[in-house]
Structure 1
Amino acid sequence: MHKDENDGVPEPTRDDVASATGTGAPVNDFDADAHDAAAISDTDANAGGAAPLAAGLKRLSGRGTSGPGNSGRGNSVRGRVAGIASAVAIVAAAGTLVAAASMAPQSAGSRRLEAPLTAVPAGSNVGICPGPARLLEGTPVGTDPQFSPESATARTLVNAAVLSTNAGVLPGSRLAELNGTALAEIAKDPGTPTAAATPAALLAGVVSQRAVDSVSVLSADAVGNQQATAGAVMNYTATDGDLQGSAAAGCQPPSNDLWLVGANTALGRTAVLNLSNASSTPATVSLDLYGAQGQIQAPGSRGLLVAPGTTRSIVLAGLAPDQEKLSIHARSAGGPVTAVIQQSTLRGLTPGGVDFIVPGAAPATRQVMSGVDIQDPASAKALTAKQGFADAAAALQIAVPGPADAVVEIKLYGRDGQKALPGGGVVTAKGGSVTEVSLAGVPAGQYTVAASADVSFAAAVRVTRGQKSESATDFAWSPSSARLGSQHVVAVPRSGERYLVLGAPDDRAKITYTPITADGKVRTAATADLAGGTTALIKVPGEVGGADVLGYVVSASGDAAYGTVLLEQDGRADIATVAVAPGAAGQEQVAVKLGY
């Protein structure tokens, strides 16, 4: 039979244990050992050093060896002490491992890493120019339009300019139809550029007065991983027919998110949205429509397919009929697109004007519109008092996409400083809708309009021409624009009265404008020094150095400044505006995120 190592040793009594501990009170061995072990593990072992742990073990071992007559008990106690010491050592080792693990570097899978930035190669500078204004043949069923030929006097012309690099090299560039058919070659591909010892004189490749009958595309290739600097404008004029008047639009870069303010689908008003896709990827476009009474839920406004190299036209009255104030938010999934609204008015048999409404700045808490030309307030008041002419006067439209109302403060800056807006200049624009603020009563002149609010909004200003109800009138929309930077190519039509309208709403700004002539030369620069809170009007001459002026290179320094080209026809009630487009983008970096 197996014999335990302690067989034959008399079992100690409670008195023996009490004597061994030096106390007269009976002690429970298990409770005492457990208590001391717990004390060691909770205090000594966590004290951060070996000395407290050794002292605790010494106390336990001293209990088993002191006192007479405890030889057998000493073996039992020493066994328990050894077990407790082992347990304490394990606890201490575990604590050390936990502490070490907390101080050790975390594994790559558990660390939070910022997405790295990767430089994106510069791409081509692409601008899509709207096609000619077309007259609807009637009110079709649905939204797809049918057009009749334009009037006999209608002309649609494109002017464009592409700047050379610092080495004097013109980027490969061309004007083509949307489907790729070439219209004009500006410059051939220069190949790999070589570094120049000193900057060369600036040159321009130009397209002058090129007649077009459809949507056209200006494209300029990148050179040396730098995006080309280019710009173009399309100008439409007609002296007869229902679409007589002037309309102009800058050729805009494609985007996946666009905001347009100023459409009207009421009686006698026609609004046609043209979506163009110059990419090789199909675009699926969804439209959010906002009216005076709130957002409009329109069947057929989602999933509009625009195939590569095509334009899709949508009659907005088919989506939102009888809307005197209508704003559009166009979002494209897939290929980027451009969006332009052909807006026209017919009051009975009298033409009321035509315009191309282009996208403005995205919703923000501040919007600035320059090139606001206001007629004599007394004549405008007499005209708008007549039936059907309520929209023949200057006005600011505010589209608030969010649910919260916007408290908007409006300021007008003229050539000699700020002008008070009748009514105080502070309005509340309802969230999710479009609000119109009349500019009636403002003295005649050219202005920059700045609007600020506590929530984001989009905005545009309507300007009008014509003071007689029995004669043709015209209108134009000046969208909100971005502040001027460096080297904006501002192309201008070569006919009519042309003005650069520059505004500095806050503080002093300096504008440098350098003429580009039709022979491809970049002429001597001129400078305009704008005081804060003022607007400057610069008349564009017909010629510089014996050549027709085709545009300007515009640069700004100092405080924020904004610019618009104002177009009029001498002796006619024609008006059009073209906001200065943003300059060429530098090399961009994007965050690269890996995941499912």
Structure 2
Amino acid sequence: MHKDKTPEGGNASRKGLLTGLVSSAAIIAAAGGIIAAGTLAPEPAGSRSLPAALAAVPAGSSVGVCPGPARLLEGTEAGTDPQFSPKSATARSAVSGAVISAPGGVLPGSRLSALDGTAAVEIARDDAQAGGAAGPQELKAGVIEQRAVDAASVLSADARNGQKASAAALMKFSATDGDLQGFAAANCQPPSNDVWLAGASTTLGRTSVLTLSNASTTPATVSLELYGTKGQIQAPGSRGLLVAPGSTRSIVLAGLAPGEAQLSVHVRSAGGPVAAAIQQSVLRGLTPGGVDFISPGAAPAARQVMTGIDIQDAGALSSLTREKGYEDAGPALQITVPGQSDAVVEIKLFGRDGQKALPGGGVVTAKAGSVTEVSLAGVPTGHYTVAASSDVSFVAATRVTRGLKDNQASDVAWAAAGIRLGSQHVVPVPQGGKRILIFGALEDRASISYSAITADGKIQAASTADIAGGTTTSIDVPEKVEESTVVGYIVSASGDAAYGALLLQQDGREDISSLALMPAASGQEQVPVTLGY
């Protein structure tokens, strides 16, 4: 072995080592020179940090998760896992929705399915082709009209040509008997890892059940942050809630936060995103007080806007809310401040003829880490837009009620804070009852374009509403256009900031539901990417 180490090999080895040391020294010296030069030489006047490069992210499928039908709790609410009794004999639940084609009439692959992916209705196949009669810019719609459901469901539409599909759906529940007598509707929500829900209550006669639905193939681990009138609530059992793929988990909020008149829930998910909603029902003694699905609203921000607010006669409301058990039977704004600083909130109420003054004034202080309620009673009957602004971020929702007699069934709905309207929002409209599109403009004039979607898949000619700044406009939805049933609308806005909602009522009943318009489809997005090791 030693014979292999010849003197020539040893010299070569030492020569290589010396060369490496010299090269290293040269590199170090060069680096030192660069550092010294950078230290001594002044920076160019235009020197600045370069932003992270933007990488294009392909558009994904459009997904909306619809909550399942409302169901009565059975037995005690001492725990958080509910047991449900059979639904009432008259309860009906159905999903309505629409998927919009690309110009030329090509519908994206789309379907309504169960939460586990089992297809219920195929709207269009992935290889669908445009009809020969379609013009180069003509749109058409794939329609779901009053599809009966008995569990959570999912509307999904595939991306096409780098663009997310324009699609939306809602679930409508109604019952004319039992403790869940009333009417409720909810938008089918895109799954998220972070949402806020405001308007729950766990006092006597109020039942709030949080439903978490996981339509992905990844398990979701959910944590809840609860806010009440006295501050944030530390509740054992509110962290690490597992929601398996293709399943729904229901949680009785009274088991986490009992006796809370106003309760907001911040839902955060790790792993798979979830769709969250709160089934809220009211029983005033033996009289049904309504049912609603509380949907997520806008994320915490310095301004929140809610439209689709229906306010009844001020005098009758005043008399009703003085009755025991009816304190929450009138309209009110709830403000949740998640931060460490109190929020000074300015509230403006815009009606058909402009701004209306609130009897209690328009400025309130909302305590940090808690929920504050502000009554909206005392203004004239009509439809309104509520705009609230502050110096700190907050979450908001507005309670809407119907019914003015304490011995008759009434209903309640929560209007979540909405988003500013842009281009091509899809607004599904369920059948039956009174349907009203409501739009509010804030400071300056806005223009709204709305095109009816009919059951035959046609997009009808657009109509336009010009809305003055600081006003609210209501548009009744007709039953038919050109002899075909109206199943939805495509809505676009221009001009100043405008907001929209769909208000639903039932003929001859004190039923109500208010749904903020969903965001429009987005195209290819770009995200900042930082390279490192």
- Distance of 1:516 and 1:568 partners within structure 2: 20
The aligned counterpart of 2:72 is: 135
User: Greater relative contact order (Cα 8 A, min sep 6): structure 1 or 2?
Assistant: 2
The aligned counterpart of 2:141 is: 204
* SS of residue in 2 equivalent to 1:500: strand
- Distance of 1:477 and 1:525 partners within structure 2: 30
- Distance of 1:334 and 1:296 partners within structure 2: 25
Matches within 5 A, 1:535-574: 535-574=472-511
- One-letter code of the match for 2:124? A
- Distance of 2:455 and 2:520 partners within structure 1: 21
Matches within 5 A, 1:55-454: 100=37, 114-190=51-127, 199-454=136-391
- One-letter code of the match for 2:257? A
From the two aligned structures, give the one with the greater helix fraction: 1
- Distance of 1:153 and 1:340 partners within structure 2: 23
Aligned residues: 499
Please state how far the C-alpha of 1:198 moved relative to its aligned partner. 6.9
Please state how far the C-alpha of 1:150 moved relative to its aligned partner. 1.1
Q: Judge conservation of contact 2:213–2:249 (CA < 8 Å) in 1.
A: yes
In structure 2, relative to structure 1, the CA distance for the partners of 1:198 and 1:542 (3 Å cut) is closer
Q: Judge conservation of contact 2:78–2:254 (CA < 8 Å) in 1.
A: no
- One-letter code of the match for 1:364? A
Q: Judge conservation of contact 1:257–1:332 (CA < 8 Å) in 2.
A: yes
Q: Judge conservation of contact 1:383–1:468 (CA < 8 Å) in 2.
A: yes
Tell which structure's C-alpha radius of gyration is larger: 1
* SS of residue in 2 equivalent to 1:147: coil
- Distance of 2:471 and 2:59 partners within structure 1: 37
- Distance of 1:396 and 1:177 partners within structure 2: 35
Query: TM-score, normalised to structure 1's length?
Result: 0.81
Matches within 5 A, 1:505-520: 505-520=442-457
Please state how far the C-alpha of 1:244 moved relative to its aligned partner. 0.7
* SS of residue in 1 equivalent to 2:292: strand
- Distance of 1:432 and 1:294 partners within structure 2: 5
From 448, 460, 467, the equivalent of 2:404 is 467
In structure 2, relative to structure 1, the CA distance for the partners of 1:348 and 1:113 (3 Å cut) is same
What's the CA shift string for 1:407-463, capped at 9, x where partnerless?
110000000111001121110000000000001111110000000111100000001
- Distance of 2:423 and 2:525 partners within structure 1: 17
What's the CA shift string for 1:259-318, capped at 9, x where partnerless?
011000000000000001111111111100000000000000001111110011000000
Please state how far the C-alpha of 1:593 moved relative to its aligned partner. 3.1
In structure 2, relative to structure 1, the CA distance for the partners of 1:141 and 1:385 (3 Å cut) is closer
* SS of residue in 1 equivalent to 2:444: coil
- Distance of 2:187 and 2:527 partners within structure 1: 28
- One-letter code of the match for 2:305? V
Which structure 1 residue ranges, 5 or more long, are not aligned?
1-92
From the two aligned structures, give the one with the greater strand fraction: 2
Q: Judge conservation of contact 2:107–2:129 (CA < 8 Å) in 1.
A: no
* SS of residue in 1 equivalent to 2:265: strand
Q: Judge conservation of contact 1:140–1:146 (CA < 8 Å) in 2.
A: no
* SS of residue in 2 equivalent to 1:136: coil
The aligned counterpart of 1:485 is: 422
The aligned counterpart of 1:34 is: none
- Distance of 1:99 and 1:258 partners within structure 2: 51
Alpha-carbon RMSD? 2.3
Q: Judge conservation of contact 2:106–2:129 (CA < 8 Å) in 1.
A: no
- Distance of 2:32 and 2:305 partners within structure 1: 64
Please state how far the C-alpha of 1:114 moved relative to its aligned partner. 3.6
The aligned counterpart of 1:455 is: 392
- One-letter code of the match for 1:366? R
Query: TM-score, normalised to structure 2's length?
Result: 0.90
Please state how far the C-alpha of 1:200 moved relative to its aligned partner. 2.9
- Distance of 1:192 and 1:282 partners within structure 2: 36
- Distance of 1:167 and 1:438 partners within structure 2: 50
- Distance of 2:513 and 2:112 partners within structure 1: 23
* SS of residue in 1 equivalent to 2:237: coil
What's the CA shift string for 1:225-259, capped at 9, x where partnerless?
11100011111111111001110011110111100
- Distance of 1:362 and 1:139 partners within structure 2: 33
In structure 2, relative to structure 1, the CA distance for the partners of 1:97 and 1:339 (3 Å cut) is closer
What's the CA shift string for 1:50-98, capped at 9, x where partnerless?
xxxxxxxxxxxxxxxxxxxxxxxxxxxxxxxxxxxxxxxxxxx999887
Which structure 2 residue ranges, 5 or more long, are not aligned?
1-29
* SS of residue in 2 equivalent to 1:128: strand
